[in-house]
Amino acid sequence: MASQLRLHVLLPIALLGLLGAGFGAYAVGNKPAGSDPSGVPLITTHRDKSKPAPHQAPNDAAWVKGLQAWCAGVNTQIQAIDQPQTVADFESALGEYVQVWDSAEPSFMKLGLPNKQKQLAIRLRENVKASVAELRSVFNHTQQLDLEWLQSQIDDGKALDHERNELTKELGAGVCFNKDDRSGGPSVIQPAPLLITSQLERYGKVVVLFYEPGASYDAIQTREARAGALEAHAGFVSVNVSKNQQVGQLATQYGVLQSPTVLIFTRGLKLKARIEGLYDRTAVVQAVKNA
């Protein structure tokens, strides 16, 4: 009975606190923590408001526009995540948050650095990287039903969210993550081959899922493949088979003839395992360990 209470009552409460603290605040209808003056204060280099703003070089202005577009893209991806209703939904939503941030990081790195305020931009890079790591840890501790740890992370989530908004404001892009922003934005997810390469650089192994959107069977396998990748501390890339440009070259090169299909790569794009049809996260975890 106690374990059931932890699973069905306490766990969703802890996860709601985390999602409301940051990462996907607008997805659960809360104000982003960065907009709350009571949020965790962080040391940030602020310009003296009594002095005129320094002139920004044209390339810096272009960089800021790129940052704004990236922010809008992240917002668009996170707003597309369904609000969790059950314990299983919470796990799935967490996995989607991880995938969005993990996929957004390479496109943020592609922006490069502005000529001015480089240190602020580097801090923003570190924040994005820390957000990815934090969400991965949250996902894995959720699997372990580690409620005390999850509840202890709420302040950390607020701090990351608050710092991210403060840095984007300092860099001239305004409040980057705003639940009221419905302007949309370009996808922040890179083409699959580039994303696979970046995930391999970071994690050493990557689980690549070929799936068909809208197919209920594929939706279950997507959840299991992503959960297995996160549990095994591997990268995860999903490839939509309905998008010919995205899937054609990869599918041909590696002989993918059906969905869902999971391929597991190690550095150097070495294919180590293939799983077709029915599988669960345990099978994915074992395949990653054996790779």
The 3-state DSSP composition of the chain as helix, strand, coil percent (nearest 5) reads: 60, 10, 35
Half-sphere exposure of 11 (CA within 13 A, CB side): 25
Would you say residue 109 has pLDDT above 80?
yes
Are residues 192 and 237 in contact, defined by beta-carbon separation less than 8 angstroms? yes
> Residues for the chain: how many in total?
291
pLDDT of residue 99: 87
Mean per-residue pLDDT, 265-274: 94
pLDDT of residue 246: 58
pLDDT of residue 245: 62
pLDDT of residue 51: 46
Identity of the highest mean pLDDT range in 17-31, 39-53, 233-247: 233-247
Would you say residue 152 has pLDDT above 80?
no
Half-sphere exposure of 13 (CA within 13 A, CB side): 10
Rounded Cα–Cα distance for residues 170 and 153 (Å): 26
Confidence of residue 174 (pLDDT cuts 50, 70, 90): confident
Would you say residue 145 has pLDDT above 90?
no
Share of the chain above pLDDT 90, in %: 25
Give the 3-state secondary structure of residue 273: strand
Share the mean pLDDT of the chain.
76
Question: Does 227 or 34 have the greater pLDDT score?
Answer: 227
Q: Which two tokens stand for residue 287?
A: 């395949």
Would you say residue 40 has pLDDT above 70?
no
Is 287 buried (19+), middle (13-18) or exposed (0-12) by CB count in 10 A? Answer: buried
Rounded Cα–Cα distance for residues 164 and 109 (Å): 15
Kindly report which listed range (89-98, 181-190, 221-230) carries the lowest average pLDDT score: 181-190
pLDDT of residue 30: 35
Q: Which positions ≥6 away from 83 have C-beta within 8 Å?
A: 27, 28, 29, 89, 93
Would you say residue 151 has pLDDT above 70?
yes
Are residues 154 and 39 in contact, defined by beta-carbon separation less than 8 angstroms? no
Would you say residue 218 has pLDDT above 80?
no
Question: Does 69 or 183 have the greater pLDDT score?
Answer: 69
pLDDT of residue 189: 64
Q: Which two tokens stand for residue 275?
A: 């799983």
Q: Which positions ≥6 away from 122 have C-beta within 8 Å?
A: 113
Query: Which structural domains are found in the chain, ordered by start?
Result: 2-37+59-170 (no CATH), 192-290 (3.40.30.10)
pLDDT of residue 229: 94
